[in-house]
Amino acid sequence: MKQETQWTTIFWEGWTAQALCAAAVFWPGSAALRYPAVLWPGLALAVAVPAVWAGWWMLAQRPKPLPEEVVMELSEQKATEVAAMVKTYESGHGELMTPQDILVIGADTVVACDDTILGKPRDEADAKRMLTLLSGRKHAVYTGVTFVFLDKNGRAGAHTFYEKTEVTMKPLSELEIDRYVATGEPMDKAGAYGIQGKCAIYIEGIEGDYNNVVGLPVARIYKELQKLGIDPYLW
């Protein structure tokens, strides 16, 4: 029903825009009627305007990717790239490779606050922006993890999942943000902070896996390996 309503809106508003453009072309006394060279550009404009409008409208309605979707895709990209490098290396250095199967683990982390997904800051100004957004609020940390299994015949399979942890940060003054950013610690961290570092004094609460906020949910990884029948102690 919702999709039908959207297409109805596109049709009627697009038709209105097209009618207005056409009217401007064929209105009595219009330059298009007196000068044929103007006619075809006018007709093209009458068709193009609503088409462009409809495309813009559909793009604006496209749903934003969810944080869990983002981290799972990023982790899969990382694991797949490393797995390809391993196979390339193995093809030329077979004598150095272990006879056992190989497990590649890829992981990536983002911070989500409201509808905003925060990765690593571009610069100090961006880091300050992120910390200002998180100050005095609860946010979620998502880490995506992908296993890629390699056997002697190549890629044997993959498994992807994510872990979510909620973190509450105390209200930060502008001075505290400036001092923390000046340490350089936020620059390679998702959300511009490291819970395991100097930012630990600003964390008021955590719900979930602490290691997930650090960047690797080791307990969840162990559980997922068990589900797949893999004993990490014997790997």
* Domain edges within the chain: 2-61, 67-227
What own/partner pairs with CB < 8 Å and gap ≥ 24 does 180-184 have? 180/131, 181/124, 181/127, 181/128, 181/131
CA distance 160 to 99: 25
How far from chain centre, in Å, is Cα 142? 11
Quick one: pLDDT at residue 11? 44
Sheet holding 102-113, edge to edge: 116-118, 102-113, 138-151, 154-169, 203-207
Are residues 210 and 192 in contact, defined by beta-carbon separation less than 8 angstroms?
Answer: no
Enter the CATH code of domain 67-227: 3.90.950.10
Quick one: pLDDT at residue 220? 97
Element housing 61 (H / E): helix 36-61
Quick one: pLDDT at residue 70? 96
CA distance 215 to 19: 56
Q: How far apart are the first and last CA of the chain?
A: 52
pTM of the full structure: 0.71
Residues of the chain with pLDDT under 50: 1-12, 25, 33, 35, 57, 59, 96
Active-site residue list: 108
* List of residues 6+ apart from 4 with CB closer than 8 A: none
Instruction: Give the residue carrying structure tokens 């498994």.
Output: 159
